[in-house]
Structure 1
């Protein structure tokens, strides 16, 4: 009955179209009232949920990504990717995937990735004879890379939801392997389509121009190397690297590229603060929701329920994957990470699964949800940028869904993809 009151009130409020953050907070209060916990105890958890030093990484990484996204970085990364892979048949589709990989490693946001890279490449691909539906599908599916590679905001959320027991640095490094695998699979898909549909072949960029493009893009790409290099060398922590990334992004955008106007900075800061206020409210109320769940012993009950299904870790992982895929299509990624991680953590630790490995499984699962209707935020952004309908975009995405599911199975059942690099570098 405890679980029914807590989860039932949450689902009811979601059905009534209340914002997820407030639904979490009100259902936590309903659960507290039911089990006789004073409301001020819930409020303490709300305040404690955002009173964590590691959370500073989120606003700093979001701000660094926003500065780079609006400061001309996406255009330069597209040009750099064109130098690397644009000369082969279907080269623009490969450029799309590679540019998304680079931009995702700077912004850490799939939405920003889709909006920035898509606004540059989808019109260009259409001019070169690529169907808009295909161009949009490539952009949307390629943006899932941003969720895996550092600096992923969602890795920080997962570490927070796991109670701070999982290292953010380990999660950042663990995401490199799955991110590279996803990039390679997506590029393979694009090459197959290019051959079958006879998409145009790109032109080789002259050496002098190519060198200029590479040098121009290198300033922005240095953000990625500063973050990863600083963490691996021990010069600064993952949280501190976020602040350094902001300083570097600001320097490159305003003093090197100089495409962004000084008078536009206050508007950028305002948009960033609005985004962060939503995220922080969500984190705060999710902490109170998780506190009530723990008091009601819901995670322990769900662990018992999973273990009664099977004692085989592979079977349980398949069940968890199926559950995450379904839930990922119905809710946004951040609240699902904050709600489900405390519930599933006892299950995976009981099975001997590394929490870092499971973090990558969760990110890939919920990343697929972001590009799947009915609540696929990245899908909607991609369709809007590409000026195509959701229905046509989903049809074009069908083969890419299959490829993403293959990546998910590989990440799930081959732990070394996620764990080898952290074991070597950390």
Structure 2
């Protein structure tokens, strides 16, 4: 397996796409191991995608793209502005709340960040925000989508680790809202120092808030419908994805009446592109994962880490720091597919709940799309706003402090994560 890891690192440094890095380095294991038939490469590549729970991914991607094309986003912006527009750094506060609302729609942090950069970014810059601050304010809150259902990352983690996706969805609500609170505090403190003004002169009246809520209610109740439906056995997580797609079609055609045939074709195009990239990584990760299990890497690494400490909290922080370092160089989906089978047995061995670990893991690995050197969302937003990455990195420090503070609290107080899933599912 040593040769596999060496080639894996070399391919990453050469800039090879992550999917092919995983696939080719995984195939090298079979080439240099004469006791394993090479035909297993094809078998593992195909079998990795042959799973009923994975059906949730294309359905939720389709649902998210549909809902983004039905006029829901402008209505959510109106609601977020009514709720927070009177605060210091009004547009940055709007971005934080909008990400919390969009978490239940897009399920993708990169898509959320790109959308907000195009809609809110230029307006923030025209109002005197620095480009770096505007880029940080529209990209870092997108991390909330890693926890608020339906998160694509939680679905993949649940599939790989055989963890209840329904419990993961329920567990993501409180951490998502807590992250929103921490980020709003960071915006309030930093924007006051920089003198960024509110969007509105006065706080919205209760009537204005109710009107804005009524206009966007179809999006706001979406995550709750999913959790309730899964809890009461109306549908499985995979069937929930199919329901979400039908729900999005219903909203677009009959409620807002903004989903045209042309928009629908564009939605299908973008869904196929998104799904193709994700499924290619999942397929090739099946090849790579076989070598990890064959050489008993999880067992060896488990023994090594537990020799350092068996204290659950210390062990959890060691693993999270390792995940943060790996995430700086490896794409999020690939990281979850490769490392979940390794670390999940270790944390379960010391009594850490897999749902608790899943929320922390997905937050920390998704955060890396917002950091150098391979931060996809970071480069996307900086490109849209014509912002140097150095300026973005400097201005994003208060936001990262807020996110890390929230992660520490969640790690120390697991009941914040587990309260809702235990309440709903027992």
TM-score (norm 1): 0.94
CA contact (8 A) 1:78 1:117 kept: no
Question: Mean alpha-carbon deviation: is it higher for 117-126 or for 400-409?
Answer: 117-126
Once the two structures are superposed, the pairs formed by residues 411-422 of structure 1 within 5 Å of their partners are 411-422=410-421
Q: Mind listing any 5+ residue stretches in structure 1 that lack a counterpart?
A: none
1:398 aligns with 2:386: no
Q: Which residue of 2 aligns with 1:178?
A: 175
2:143 alignment counterpart: 144
The 5 A counterparts of 1:244-283 are: 244-283=243-282
> Is this contact kept in 1: 2:190–2:398, CA < 8 A?
no
Report if aligned partners of 1:6, 1:30 keep a CA contact under 8 Å in 2.
Answer: yes
Residue 379 (1) aligns with residue 368 (2): no
Q: In the alignment, is residue 155 of structure 1 matched against residue 186 of structure 2? A: no
Cα distance, 1:33 vs structure 2: 2.9
The residue number in structure 2 matching 1:187 is 184
Mapping of residues 24-423 of structure 1, within 5 Å: 24-35=22-33, 36-162=35-161, 164=162, 166-201=163-198, 202-204=200-202, 205=204, 210-423=209-422
Consecutive unaligned residues of structure 2, counting only runs of 5 or more, are none
Q: Report SS of the residue matched to 1:412.
A: helix
TM-score by length of 2: 0.94
How far apart, CA to CA, are the structure 1 residues paired with 2:148 and 2:68? 17
Q: Deviations over 1:243-298 (max 9, x none)?
A: 11111112212333233431232232122112111111111111221122111111
172-181 or 220-229, larger mean C-alpha shift:
220-229
Q: How large is the RMSD of aligned CA atoms in angstroms? A: 1.8
Q: Is the CA contact (8 Å cut-off) linking 1:46 and 1:285 kept in structure 2?
A: yes
Q: How far, CA to CA, are the matches of 1:89 and 1:311 in structure 2? A: 45
**Aligned partners of 2:141 and 2:180 also within 8 Å:** yes
Secondary structure at 1:44 match in 2 = helix
**How far apart, in 1, do the equivalents of 2:206 and 2:314 lie?**
53
Q: What per-residue deviation string (whole Å, max 9, x for no partner) do you get for residues 121-145 of structure 1?
A: 2222233333332122111110000
Q: Distance in 2 between matches of 1:94 and 1:17?
A: 36
Q: Distance in 1 between matches of 2:25 and 2:124?
A: 47
**In the superposition, relative to structure 1, how do residues 347 and 206 fare at CA in structure 2: closer, same or farther (>3 Å)?**
closer
Aligned partner (choices 13, 17, 20) of residue 19 of structure 1: 17
Kept after mapping to 2: 8 A contact 1:96/1:117: yes
1:395 & 1:386 partners in 2: Cα distance? 16
Give SS of 1:106's match. coil
